[in-house]
Chains A and B, each alone.
Chain A
Amino acid sequence: MEVKLSLDFKGLLCPLPVVKLAQTIKQVEIGELVEAVATDPGVMADIPAWTRSTGNELVTLEKRDDKTFRFVVKRLK
């Protein structure tokens, strides 16, 4: 499925990636995907917790070789 919005959270410390994601996800329609890349390892816990508590779907969350973290979230709410 096509990613509708790509975000760069590199250099942002938690919880700012969650804050920015929560704000920007409203720019896509329900059912669409948002992708982001972050450098703070805190996203490995914070993003899954945020999707769980808000009812959105975490499609993927991966650590990459360049020490960044990429995640894709499907907007469901």
Chain B
Amino acid sequence: MTAQVELALNTLEAQLNQPLETALEACARCGLCAEACHYYRAQPSVEHIPAFRAEQLRSVYRYERDFLSRLFPFWTGAKKLDEKTLLHLTEIAFSQCTLCRRCTINCPLGVDTPLLMRAVRAMTTAAGTAPEILVMLADAAIEKGADPSFFKELFLEQIREIEEQLRNITGDPNATIPVEKQGARVLYVPLAGVHTILPPAIVFNAAKEDWTLSIFEAANYGVFLGDVNRAKQVAKRIVDEANRLGVQEIVIAECGHAYASYRWDVPNWFPGQFHFKVRSMIEVLADYLREGRIQVDPNFITEPVTYHDSCNLARNSGLIEEPRFVLKHIVKDFREMTPNKAEALCCGGGGGLVALAEYTERRIQAGRPKAEQIQKTGARLVVAACENCRLQIGDLNERYGLNVHITALTDLVVRAMRLPKPLPGTEAEHLFEGQKEMVELDPPAH
């Protein structure tokens, strides 16, 4: 046994707990998961059936755990893990499964195949066969947490410039983007880049929220790697920051995996240190509208609009009605995709795939069912509350000629707030490029 294989098997062994063992033992091989999977819908072949993918790990598990399988592997379909199989498992876990969990909710036994794929991702990360770029991105995030001083000054300089934009857009000379504000009620955690800082800043200022901006980004590539150790180190930056500032709530930018991890995983990783409520920006928007804290034009968009449910937000976190509640306030012609909500099809961009150039073609192919869904709605605007989904739908738009605009929910709400001044600067223009045409059709009152 090579060191690589030994590391992989040790990682499998270390992860074994009741949920994982149940998923490894429980498949009835009924095949109902096939049609649930967007990979299978795009390309109906055996290797795209979730149960088949799971079986690749189960065969290794049987060999390791079952005496009879070790003696007579051909009887039970057991397989000894070797380097070739490890590479095959790597390929399956990182390029043929987005961890969307649609197979799980359609399985009569509730077998959590994505949990198995996460276990494989962890095994291959430990063995060094996981995609290098995901490891690099996770390590770069950890580096930022270890010593924020090397970027903080530049970051603050950028924030002051974004703040100027904020004041220009809102016409409010007192509008601010507080950073490291001690005792703020809300810590807002953006993604890297102005596009997830400026629109929420406009909303928080309009709602007169007591907030502060995190100096870190919400994305966690350790989660995509299935590597709990790396994922914990990335998350610790935010947990420490929230504790240091004494906030009551962490609000996560429109990002599926980041919200799901902070909502469900991170509190368990830091017992006794996680005293905060966690909300997504889309919940915040819904609450502000419900409480009358922000005002929007109900006739803002008359063009047909559809909403893409991010798997991590809708199916895996239950944020289903909140975005629809928000859209009802600003959209006249809302059209659902079919299926939708908890049964929504994955766009194909989850699980870190958008960052993996080597799998681009496979990702675009797997997104074809989503592209067809969008096309059938006749919508001109697709709203998605997840960065990876937006990037993927942008690629699908180009490949399949969907002729749609794609936007974040917060951006759309900000447009519907009918701000007193035009959007200045190249960055803001770029930010709202998706709605340009509609703004021309339906210009602001000012």
Residue positions of A touching B, CB distance < 8 A? 11, 13-16, 18-19, 22-23, 39-42, 44-46, 48-50, 52-54, 63, 67
Contact = CB atoms under 8 A, between A and B. Distances in A.
A19 B192 contact: no
B426 interface: yes
Interface in B80-137: 132-133, 136-137
Nearest to A61: B154
A45 B143 contact: no
B191 interface: yes
A7 to B, nearest CB: 14
A49 B355 contact: no
Contacts of A52: 140, 143, 150
A11 B430 contact: yes
The SS class assigned to the A binding surface is helix
Contacts of B155: 44-45
B192 A53 contact: no
A41 B193 contact: yes
B426 A19 contact: no
Contacts of B143: 49-50, 52-53
A46 B142 contact: no
B141 interface: yes
Interface in B403-446: 425-427, 430
Contacts, number: 78
Contacts of B144: 45, 49
Contacts of A41: 158, 161-162, 193-194
Contacts of B142: 53
A44 B427 contact: no
B180 interface: no
B285 to A, nearest CB: 21
A15 B141 CA distance: 11
A71 to B, nearest CB: 11
B430 A22 contact: no
A19 B195 contact: no
B249 interface: no
A50 B355 CA distance: 15
B27 to A, nearest CB: 35
